[in-house]
Structure formats: C-alpha cells, structure tokens
Amino acid sequence: MEQILKFLEALLQPAVVILILVLLLILNTWIFKKLKSTALNGSITKGAISFFITLVGLLAFILVMPIEQSLKGQILSFLAIIISAGIALSSTTVLGNLIAGIMNNSMNRFRNGDLIRIGDFQGRVIRKSVFHTEIQLEDSNFITIPNLYIASNPVKLTRKSNTVVSTSVSLGYDISRIKIETALKEAAVATGLKDPYVYITGLTDFSVVYKIHGFLDDSSNFFSTSSLLNAMVMDKLHEHNIEIVSPAFMNQRRVDEKEFIPRQVTEEPEKKVEKSPEELVFDEAIKSEKLEIKKDYLAEIDKKQDALKESLKDIKDKQETDKIKAAVKRYDDLKERIRKNIEEQEKSNKDATK
C-alpha cells in the first residue's frame, strides 16, 4: 500500500503539469475565439502561442517526471538536438513557413484585399494563414504562395490612393521632345490621372524612350487604368501627327513617305454602365477586403464601448447612466450582427475557393 501511495505521489506533479497545459491551451483558444472578429490573422498568433505553451509544458513535464536525473538530462539533450535540427532545416520545411508566417504577420506588410507583387506574381490578397498566403491573380485564378517564399522575396505593395500609373513609348530623334511630352501629358489627363510628368529613360541608337506617369486616386482600377493610359497615349500621339513606328521601319520596307496614323473616329461608341474589369477579376479579393473593413469597424465599436463604460464611473445621474448602458447594449447587438455576417461570409468565401 505504501508503494502504491509513493507511486501515485510521484505521478501527481506530471499530472498537474498536463492539467495546467491543457487548461492554458483551452484558455488560448477561448481568448482568440472571443477576439476573432477584431484581431487580424489571429490564427497565426494563436498557433504561435499554442506552440510555445506546448514546448514549455513538455519541458516542465520532463523535469517533474519520476525518473533519474541522468535520464532527464539525456531526454532534454535529445529534445534540444531535435529542436536545433528543426530550426537548422527550417528554410526548407514546414517549420520554416511557420516562422516566416509569424514574421510576416508581425511586420504587417500587407492585409487582405491589398494589391501586391511577389516575384513574378501580382494580384490581390485573399487570405493569410500560418503556412501560406493566397492571392487572386490578374486572370482571376488563385495561387497559394508559401510564407517562406514571401519572407525571402521583395513584396511590392500598391498604395490604395495616389498610386503612380505609367507606361513607356520609344520615338525617333526627329520629333520634338516638347511636342511629345505635351501629347503624353494630355494622354495622362484624358485617362483621369493627376499631376502627370514625363521621364526620358533611355537614349538608344535609333530612338528616345519616354515614360509618362500620373497619380491614380483609387488603385482598385489599377489594371484597367493602365490599359486606358496605353490607349490614350496612342490617340494623343496620333492627334499630334506623331507616328508610332520603329525608327528602322524605313530600312525594312519602302513605304513611299506614307504616314502610319489611323483615321480618327469622330463618333464615340455608346458607353454602358457595367462592372469594371477589376470587379470581375478580383471578386474574391474584394470580398476578403470587405471582411477586413468590417473587422476594423468592430475594433472601432470596441473602443467606443470602452469609452462609454469608462464614462460611467464619473456619472451619478441615473437617467444619464441608463442612456449610456442602452448605448452599450445597442453596440453589443450591432457587434453580434456583424460577427454573424462575417462568419457567414468567411464560410462562403472558403467554399467558393475550394
């Protein structure tokens, strides 16, 4: 009987450690479940905290086990070797993507709905997870990029407003630079860009390379605006009787001084009200961005509620107190509706991308 009691007493500390570990993991899940509507990419932070808690719990469990100290030392040494090997190999393993995901999240380099370029891939972010980031490309298809690739490559983030749209054209030395720059600036203005400016980016053997820039108010129409700028550049150059042909054209084919400028169209086609190409191409990314906006709005509601609750401490008038409590209650109802809407949209977005 005495041996049984000693055995149970020896197992008491490991059991307590396991119980505390389970409780901490449940508490971590509960906290992030409560904060999921306001915390950005909470799954990444939650996973990192769970991993840290599990690691510390494992070490504590080994230290309190009823075994010899030499055996404990061997187990800890073996565990340290495994962890070191995992970190050493993290550049090519799942652990590498996990570490990169935590780093990307902590740096807050971009968020859902942002237009980004990573290497040769350009599109709008749909969602970020612990191991990868999913973006919707220019052709409306989806691509999953490992977080390790993102951490090791430059990420170009397109600004929401006042982003620069540009295009280049090469023309001969026989055309006046001032005339060309005037036509290019007119093209930028006709596109809807603000404060246009021209750079001469190259002086080649046969031509001069001009690059027209302008500021776009809303980058959600970035691609269609870039296309429209190219169209306006052609139209304005032709309006100014400037040919857009290769300077070596005459050396390849005799054209008898013929000008290569298309006949101007006087009647504009009837414009129909329809969705922009970006709205059709980036449909899932736009939904994801709207979710982020709703989460930001929930965070603002939380701040307003905290301010109202804080003001209750200094107010003694019952009528005024009831008004504030009623306002807090309305905010709670509003938050609950928004949370349900977010959950429904997140489920719908996941089903749409499967």
pTM of model > 0.75: no
C-alpha angle 347-350-351 in degrees, rounded to nearest 5: 85
- Of 111, 167, 115, give the one whose Cα is nearest residue 281: 115
Render pLDDT for 154-183 as a digit per residue (tens, 0 to 9): 888 888 888 999 999 999 888 889 999 999
Render pLDDT for 36-81 as a digit per residue (tens, 0 to 9): 544 444 566 677 788 788 888 888 888 877 777 788 788 888 888 8
Q: Of 138-152, 170-184, 269-283, which one has max mean pLDDT?
A: 170-184
Render pLDDT for 293-352 as a digit per residue (tens, 0 to 9): 888 888 888 888 888 888 877 777 778 888 888 888 888 888 888 888 887 777 776 665
- Of 100, 124, 98, give the one whose Cα is nearest residue 112: 124
Q: Decide: 104 and 133 in contact? Cβ < 8 Å.
A: yes
Render pLDDT for 249-272 as a digit per residue (tens, 0 to 9): 554 545 555 665 666 555 555 555
In sequence order, what are the beta bridge partners of 126?
Answer: none
| Confidence at 138, pLDDT banded by 50, 70, 90 | confident
User: Using CA atoms, how far apart are residues 225 and 269, in angstroms rounded to an integer?
Assistant: 19
pLDDT at 128 over 60: yes
Burial class of residue 261 in the structure, from the number of CB atoms within 10 Å of its CB (0-12 exposed, 13-18 middle, 19+ buried): middle
Render pLDDT for 71-82 as a digit per residue (tens, 0 to 9): 878 888 888 888
User: Using CA atoms, how far apart are residues 51 and 35, in angstroms rounded to an integer?
Assistant: 19
User: Using CA atoms, how far apart are residues 123 and 146, in angstroms rounded to an integer?
Assistant: 15
